[in-house]
C-alpha cells in the first residue's frame, strides 16, 4: 500500500502526491475502495492520531459527522487531517487537540474531502 506523502495535523501544508514509501498489508483485511496512506505531521489530532503516524485513507467525497477526513483547502492547494462536522451549508474541520483552532469552510474558503481516515499505525 503506498504512502502518498505527508498531511498536516496542525497548520495545513501544500498538497503533494509523492510516494514516500510502502506499507505491507494483507489484502483480505482491508476495506473496499481506493486506499492509500498519508503520514501525519503535527499535533492537532493528538491524542487520537499522533505526529508521525501513517493514516490509512479510503478515497471518498464525503464523510459522516464526527469522522476524521483528509481535506483539501482548494483555494490554497493545502491539505489537512481533521474531524468533520456539517452545519447548514458549512463544514467545520475540527482538531482533536484543543490548542488548535477549527477551520470553517465557506464560499470564500472552499474545501474538498479527499477521503475518510480508516485507521493509523504508529511506532510510539
Catalytic (active-site) positions: 44, 82
> Residue 104, CB half-sphere, CA atoms under 13 Å: how many?
5
Residue 87: name the closest of 108, 72, 66 by CA. 66
Q: Is 122 helix (H, G, I), strand (E, B) or coil?
A: coil
Euclidean distance between CA atoms 14 and 33, whole angstroms: 25
Question: Which residues are CB-neighbours of 96 under 8 A, at least 6 positions away?
Answer: 44, 45, 46, 47, 48, 49, 83
Amino acid at each position: 500500500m503506498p504512502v502518498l506523502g505527508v498531511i498536516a495535523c496542525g497548520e495545513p501544508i501544500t498538497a503533494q502526491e509523492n510516494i514516500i514509501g510502502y506499507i505491507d498489508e494483507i489484502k483480505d483485511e482491508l476495506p473496499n475502495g481506493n486506499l492509500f496512506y498519508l503520514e501525519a505531521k503535527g499535533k492537532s489530532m493528538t491524542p487520537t492520531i499522533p505526529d508521525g503516524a501513517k493514516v490509512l485513507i479510503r478515497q471518498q467525497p464525503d464523510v459522516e459527522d464526527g469522522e476524521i477526513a483528509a481535506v483539501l483547502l482548494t483555494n490554497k492547494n493545502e491539505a489537512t487531517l481533521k474531524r468533520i462536522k456539517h452545519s447548514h451549508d458549512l463544514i467545520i474541520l475540527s482538531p482533536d487537540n484543543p490548542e488548535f483552532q477549527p477551520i470553517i469552510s465557506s464560499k470564500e474558503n472552499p474545501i474538498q474531502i479527499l477521503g475518510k481516515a480508516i485507521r493509523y499505525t504508529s511506532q510510539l
